[in-house]
């Protein structure tokens, strides 16, 4: 074979191999994924809504993939610690990030030079749902509705403390906005998530908190905490007697924390597609949806492309709110 024919043969072979016309007996790199457990990193501690939601999805996702999906809690810095760890992980399909999307969008706006960005450093996999937040107080607070609470807070002349899930979280921003709206001040006590904040609120060491309905529900049902209003457009069937903010006199205070799953940038599209497919099956299962609804979680699927649009919109929305309110990290 002359040199020209040899070169042409190599070119033809390469094209055929690329198009899959020749079976080499070698599997594609992602064909046997996953071969080991997958780490799901989240930015909040065990016991909060992010953790509860993540674990509810991790178990059936692991069954569908044939490998365990292991939760890794990395709380702190408004979610930036966990998000940074996920972004810097090897994009081999064995690390994914379960994100409290609204929290992360707020942190993006609040922090100067944030180390990572959901849009730039991750690939969207799927939106998985939302959880409403609720304004709650220690029962020692002599207020059973919004007008009474506002009057009580103002009477304290700043000598009033309130908890949050941490600096830069949705819980923090809600409290700041609430205080601005009523023209009052107070002392902000940040924690590393609901599971750390709730014991102090129940003990009376703090007086007020915005928290996810999921994390606080058992304490509200037992009477250890008193609900004031839910920051949602509709009442929750789990607490039907608790009004929305608008029903209790404060308009345009509808907030729900969106949740989504991302993969580090560079993760194979075939792996992202497989994850998206399996997550869709889980979220559309009626039994799964009913089980989560009983915990105050609203499963809602959106595919990778739609999640990218939602991520960009959430970041723009909260950047505008943070700027308008001139809110800074403590």
3-class DSSP state of 33: coil
Tokens of 219: 């304490």
Round to the nearest angstrom and report the end-to-end CA distance of the chain: 76
Tokens of 175: 């409290």
Q: Check whether 12 has a pLDDT greater than 70.
A: no
Q: Across the chain, where does the E strand assignment appear?
A: 38-42, 69-73, 95-100, 122-137, 161-164, 187-190, 208-212, 226-231, 256-264, 298-302
Q: What residues pair up with 257 in beta bridges, in sequence order?
A: 131
Going by pLDDT thresholds of 50, 70 and 90, the confidence category of residue 325 is confident
Average pLDDT over residues 283-292: 95
Write down how long the chain is. Answer: 330
The fraction of the chain above a pLDDT of 70, given in percent, is: 90
Q: Check whether 22 has a pLDDT greater than 80.
A: no
For 165-178, the pLDDT digits (tens) are 988 889 999 999 99
Q: Check whether 284 has a pLDDT greater than 80.
A: yes
Q: Check whether 323 has a pLDDT greater than 70.
A: yes
| Average pLDDT score, the chain | 90
Q: Check whether 137 has a pLDDT greater than 70.
A: yes
pLDDT, residue 275, reads 98
Q: Check whether 52 has a pLDDT greater than 60.
A: yes
pTM: 0.84
pLDDT, residue 89, reads 97
Q: Check whether 262 has a pLDDT greater than 50.
A: yes
Domains in the chain with CATH codes: 38-131+256-325 (3.40.190.150), 133-231 (3.40.190.10)
How far is the C-alpha of 317 from the C-alpha of 322, rounded, in Å? Answer: 9
pLDDT, residue 27, reads 39
Are residues 314 and 105 in contact, defined by beta-carbon separation less than 8 angstroms? yes
Are residues 279 and 261 in contact, defined by beta-carbon separation less than 8 angstroms? yes
For 178-208, the pLDDT digits (tens) are 999 999 999 999 998 999 999 999 999 999 9
Tokens of 276: 């998206």
Cα→Cα distances 149→108, 171, 181, Å: 31, 18, 13
- Work out whether strand 38-42 and strand 95-100 pair parallel, antiparallel, or are unpaired: parallel
For 23-37, the pLDDT digits (tens) are 444 435 577 899 999
pLDDT, residue 26, reads 41
For 77-120, the pLDDT digits (tens) are 888 999 999 999 999 999 999 999 998 998 888 888 888 999 99
Residue 255: HSE in the Cβ half-sphere, 13 Å Cα cutoff: 31
Percentage helix, strand, coil, to 5, in the chain?
A: 45, 20, 35
């Amino acid at each position: 074979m002359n040199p020209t024919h040899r070169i042409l043969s190599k070119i033809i072979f390469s094209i055929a191999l690329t198009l899959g016309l020749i079976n080499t007996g070698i599997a594609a790199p992602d064909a046997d994924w996953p071969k080991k457990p997958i780490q799901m990193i989240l930015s909040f501690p065990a016991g909060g809504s992010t953790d509860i939601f993540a674990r509810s999805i991790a178990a059936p996702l692991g069954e569908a993939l044939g490998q365990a999906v292991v939760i890794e809690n990395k709380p702190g810095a408004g979610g930036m610690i966990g998000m940074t760890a996920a972004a810097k992980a090897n994009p081999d399909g064995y690390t994914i990030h379960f994100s409290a999307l609204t929290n992360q969008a707020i942190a993006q706006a609040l922090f100067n030079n944030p180390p990572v960005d959901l849009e730039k450093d991750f690939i969207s996999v799927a939106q998985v749902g939302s959880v409403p937040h609720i304004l709650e107080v220690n029962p020692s607070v002599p207020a059973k509705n919004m007008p009474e609470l506002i009057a009580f807070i103002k009477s304290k002349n700043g000598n009033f403390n309130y908890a949050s899930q941490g600096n830069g979280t949705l819980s923090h921003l809600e409290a700041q906005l609430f205080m601005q709206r009523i023209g009052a001040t107070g002392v902000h006590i940040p924690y590393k998530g609901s599971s750390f904040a709730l014991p102090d609120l129940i003990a009376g060491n703090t007086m007020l908190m915005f928290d996810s309905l999921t994390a606080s529900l058992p304490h509200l049902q037992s009477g250890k905490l008193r609900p004031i209003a839910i920051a949602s457009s509709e009442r929750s069937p789990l607490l039907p007697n608790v009004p929305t903010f608008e029903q209790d006199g404060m308009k345009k205070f509808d907030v729900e924390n969106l949740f989504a799953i991302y993969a580090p940038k560079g993760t194979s599209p075939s792996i992202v597609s497989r994850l998206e497919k399996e997550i869709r099956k889980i979220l559309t299962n009626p039994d799964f949806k009913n089980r989560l609804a009983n915990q105050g979680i609203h499963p809602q699927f959106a595919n990778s492309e739609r999640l990218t649009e939602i991520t960009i919109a959430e970041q723009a929305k909260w950047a505008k709110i943070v700027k308008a309110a001139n809110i800074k990290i403590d």
